[in-house]
Structure formats: structure tokens, C-alpha cells
Structure 1
Amino acid sequence: MTEHRIVTPYPADDHDHHDDFNDLGLNADLDMLGRPVLDRRRVLAMGLLGIGLLVGCGTSATTPNTDTGTGTGTGTGTGTGTESCPSAIPQETAGPYPADGSVVSGQSVNVLTRSGIVRRDLRTSLGTGNTAAGVPLTLTLKLVNTNASCAALSGYAVYLWHCTADGNYSLYSSDVVGEDYLRGVQVADSDGTVTFTTIFPGCYSGRWPHIHFEIYPSAAVATSASNKIQTSQLALPEATCREVYAAGNSGNSLSNLNRITLASDNIFNDGYSTQMATVAGSVAAGYTANLTVGLAR
């Protein structure tokens, strides 16, 4: 699958694992027109540690959501914004497997309308009860308003999805077309945080290990891609990826990783300072990943 970065407010083209052409058919968020262009290439040579220090991401979330993730927030900015304030995260393609009601890969799938999709634990399919195998990963995103000194954004809904440990996407890939795991919605709490329990994603051919997410102004409208206000992706650090993939049970992930770099990935090749998650842990104990997501609200 080849995924192209969105650089205009018009629909983006995308390709799946087999390089089939797909028209996402979505209007990109017009709000992006008013956002500053990110100067991201300048941090490519800094390395992961330097990038983490530059953007101040990866601090631990203070109050994770409940398991159900239900809420009725208004999506307003609250808090003091005392953390280091990153730039707004860039708009990205949702890729060919979003299952958000958009038409891609010649089909329209919408997991957002399924009962139970608002959940913290993404590892089990809602329909079959089957569980995705893999190294445990607890992922926390903190939503902040870059137009208000990075005050916390509460009440926003985040739809997050990613591939399996061996690089397949539920609802699309033939081996897991009947599953809907590794997809779910959470609502940002008063600190602007959402937390998901999932597994470490694999690395498939042509893409750096990553996780997709869409942001909606509230849970009430998080039922169709037409209501989203932002789409982006987070990157995972190379050292951790190698550690996970070397442990086995990740298909061809390690060999695929050996053939890709952040500089050659067509999403992260123009910079990833606001998209690189801070990760800690081990294969045996599982990992935690944190990213502060800046939105210009």
C-alpha cells in the first residue's frame, strides 16, 4: 500500500497493498487552509531523541478514559496548556482501509456505526469475539489547541485504527475480512486525553510502522468520515519496532522494516516531528506510547 500526504484541501489519491488506484472522495478540512506550513524537514537529521526533545511530546497522560469512552463533551479548549506546545499535526491521507464510511478500495465500509465501537480495548472483534494476537500496546493521545497556548481539548472524539502484527487490516485484508478489531473510538477527557489498549502494529511492505487516527468534534458525529475535522498518522520509533519484530510473531515485519526508512516513507519523508510517538516498555511487559496532538482550533 502506498499512502500519499495530503497537501491541498481537495480529495487525496491513495493506493492499497496492490497499488490499485482509489479516490477517497472526501473534502479535506478547509480549516487546514488557515494553518501555518510546518517546517519539518529541518528535524530529520536530529534523530529520535532530538525530535522528542524538540516537540516536547510523550508526557504521560494523567487521567485515562473509562473503558467505554462515552462522553458528551462540547469540544472546547480547557486547561492551562503548561506543557511544551507542539505545532499543529499535519493532515494526512486516511489510506485505503479506514472503514469510516468513505469509498475506498471499491467499497464503502463503516465500522463507526457498529454497536460497541466506542471502546478503549481494541483487541477483540465486536462481531466474532476473536482477539488480535500481538505485543500489548497502551496508546495515549493528548489533544491540545495550538491557537490557545496548547490548552487541553476535551470532548473531541478520536477514531483510531491500525494493522495487525503481521500487517493486515481488519474488514479489508482477506485473512481478517470478517474481523473488526484494532479499530475504535474514544472521547477526550477533561485533560484532552484518550487512551487505547491495543497491540503493536506490524510493518508491511512500503510503509513505515504507523497508526491512523481521525478526530471528530464530538462522539455524536463520529459516525461518518464526512464529519471529521482532522486525519493524521503517528510514527513508531525504529529501535522499538526492531525489538518487537525480532521477537517473532510479526510476519515479514522485520524484513519489510529493513527496506524502508522515515526518509523514504511517502508520509513521513517531509518530516515527522509532530508525529513521532514516545514509546517505553518491553516485549515481555508490553509498551506504552504517547503523543501530544496539536489542533489549530
Structure 2
Amino acid sequence: MKRHSSRPSAGPEEHGAPEPHDLGLSHDLPTLLNRRHAIGLLSVGGLVAALAACSPGTASADPTGDGGGSAPGDDVAQSDSGDGEIPEETNGPFPADGTNGPNALTTTGVVRSDITTSFGDSSGTAEGIPLTFSLTVVDVSGEGDAGTPVAGAAVYAWHCDRDGQYSMYDITDQNYLRGVQEADADGTVTFTSIFPACYPGRWPHIHFEVYPSLDDATSATGRMRTSQLALPQDVSEAVYATEGYEQSVANLRDVSLDSDMVFSDGYALQMARVSGSVSQGYTATLRVPV
């Protein structure tokens, strides 16, 4: 488990028109090129090989609500196809972790499992198809280590709303869809939320940061890892066919995992396993090796 002592500035994400706080490609490119496939991407041959390896992810889900879905024991099996630590990613232009404007982490009430509502001095509820997502933090630093649960670690998670907007930035009077949880004895944190939109240029995703402890998280210090969770295409399509997500239909059609600025160089460790249905809501799980 590698501890990152410095906190990078927020990098840009494709999100419609450029934001005034977007730091530009010159900031984001070093972050992306530092990922595990960077060496291969520096050559044309490496680029072709990387793109060929990025076939669309699959999900054990039942979009129609007919009773299918993954078996209970399969919850965090998505990372069986990948080795090593989950990649370090940009935290985007809307982190609200103090690196780019507002800081939700030091706000009273941010420690919670249900992030559909705003907290502190804000009020409001994000609408959308219910999504419960769990992240299991495991330490894989030992040689041949399959992963030891990191009990007591803390995770800060955030994502856009049904309209593709981020609280505290696009919607300045709300801070919903942001929250911190402390990992249990199994290294797992769970958040109750809504399914995020697909906005222009980005694959459907959820941001998260891992901290050594709850105290570290709520003081915005000692960050260990910043990464992103990818949501499967078939589930996303089922959600986006419902009322309120209309703009996501075209946005998803115009982007792919191969073209996404974050997932294009591989997503085996970031693709969540999802089960559920539109009518009953979805459950997503991701193993987070650090």
C-alpha cells in the first residue's frame, strides 16, 4: 500500500463547455501518462495494442427487472481480470476536496452513507434511479498478497447528478452526491445514491479518494489514492432509457471506454460489478487494491 504524501491539483474532465477552473491538458496529460500502460502508449504499436485490449466491460445485471443478476458471492469479482493497485486518476475539476475551490471534507455532516441529500446548511435531494455502491479497500503491497482488508480506512466518494451537474460547482447551493464513510472490518464502505448521468465526453463514472483514516479524510490530509469507478454499458443504457436521463442517451452513444480520457488505457480494475433493475434500483461493487 503506497501512501501518497502530496495532493495533486484537480485536473480537467470533458464536461460540456470548458470551466473557468479547468486547468487544461498540460496539467492532465502527465497524470494520464503516469498510469500503468503509459510506456506502451508512447509508441504507435503500444497504442494499438492498448486499444485492442479495451473491449467493453460486462455486467451481471437485470435491466428489465425479470429476476436475473449476479450471485451473492460474486460481489467484488470484477477485478479478478487485473493485477496490481487500482490506477491513480485525475480528481477532475469538481472534487470539492480543497484542491480546486470548495471543500466538502471539512464540512460538518459529510460523514454519511446516504448521499442523495445535501447536508450542513444546504438542503435538497438528487433525483434519479437508486444506486447503492460499495468499495472494498484492500492492501496488496505484500508480495503475492491477494489483498488484506484495510479496516478503518476512509473513502470520499462523489459524482454528478441525473443532469450531469456537480454540486458545489454547477449547483452552488447544494452539496448532495458527496460523502465520506469509514471502512468496516472487511475494508468496505457503502453509499446510497442515484445513478449518475453520462455527460459529454466522459463514460459514466464515480470519483473516489482513499484516506488512511476518518480523521485524515475529514481534515483533507494524507490522501492515499484517487481513482474512478466505471459503470457497465448495458446497465447505463437501461437507466438512461428512463425519464429524466434523456440527455445521457446521446452522450453515451458518442463516447466509448476506448475514447474516454480516463478509462481508455485499461479499466479491468475499475469496472464495477452491477446487479439489480430499473424498477428496484441497482447495486454496484468494486474492489479497490491499494
Shorter-chain TM range is 0.7 to 0.9
Cα RMSD of the aligned pairs, angstroms, is: 3.0
Q: What is the identity, as a one-letter code, of the residue corresponding to 2:245?
A: S
* Shift in Å, 1:287: 0.1
CA spacing shift, 1:43–1:91, aligned 2, 3 Å: farther
Query: Which residue of structure 1 lines up, in the alignment, with residue 173 of structure 2?
Result: 178
* Shift in Å, 1:151: 1.0
Give the TM-score normalised by structure 1.
Answer: 0.75
CA spacing shift, 1:87–1:178, aligned 2, 3 Å: same
CA spacing shift, 1:96–1:182, aligned 2, 3 Å: same
Query: Which residue of structure 2 lines up, in the alignment, with residue 119 of structure 1?
Result: 112
- Aligned equivalents of 1:117, 1:59: Cα separation in 2: 30
Q: Is 1:188 matched with 2:183?
A: yes
CA spacing shift, 1:191–1:268, aligned 2, 3 Å: same
Identity %: 46
* Alignment check: 8 A CA contact 1:112 1:224 kept: yes
Deviations 1:233-266 (A, max 9, x none): 0100000000000112114111110100000011
Q: Is 1:22 matched with 2:15?
A: no
Higher RCO (CA < 8 A, seq sep 6+): 2
Unaligned runs of 5+ in 1: 1-8, 29-34, 51-57, 62-82
Among 124, 129, 154, the residue aligned to 2:123? 129
* Alignment check: 8 A CA contact 1:99 1:109 kept: yes
Q: Is 1:161 matched with 2:158?
A: yes
* Alignment check: 8 A CA contact 1:140 1:291 kept: yes
Query: Which residue of structure 1 lines up, in the alignment, with residue 86 of structure 2?
Result: 89
* Alignment check: 8 A CA contact 1:165 1:202 kept: yes
* Alignment check: 8 A CA contact 2:54 2:257 kept: no
Q: What is the identity, as a one-letter code, of the residue corresponding to 2:111?
A: V
Q: Is 1:238 matched with 2:216?
A: no
Unaligned runs of 5+ in 2: 1-6, 29-34, 41-48, 60-72
* Alignment check: 8 A CA contact 1:165 1:251 kept: no
Among 280, 283, 288, the residue aligned to 1:288? 283
Among 44, 48, 67, the residue aligned to 2:57? 48
- Aligned equivalents of 1:44, 1:85: Cα separation in 2: 12
More strand per residue: 1
* Alignment check: 8 A CA contact 1:43 1:273 kept: no
- Aligned equivalents of 2:36, 2:74: Cα separation in 1: 25
Deviations 1:87-124 (A, max 9, x none): 21000000000000112xxxx10011111100000001
- Aligned equivalents of 2:259, 2:95: Cα separation in 1: 23
Give the TM-score normalised by structure 2.
Answer: 0.77
* Shift in Å, 1:285: 0.1
Task: State the SS of the aligned residue for 2:234.
Answer: helix
Query: Which residue of structure 1 lines up, in the alignment, with residue 204 of structure 2?
Result: 209
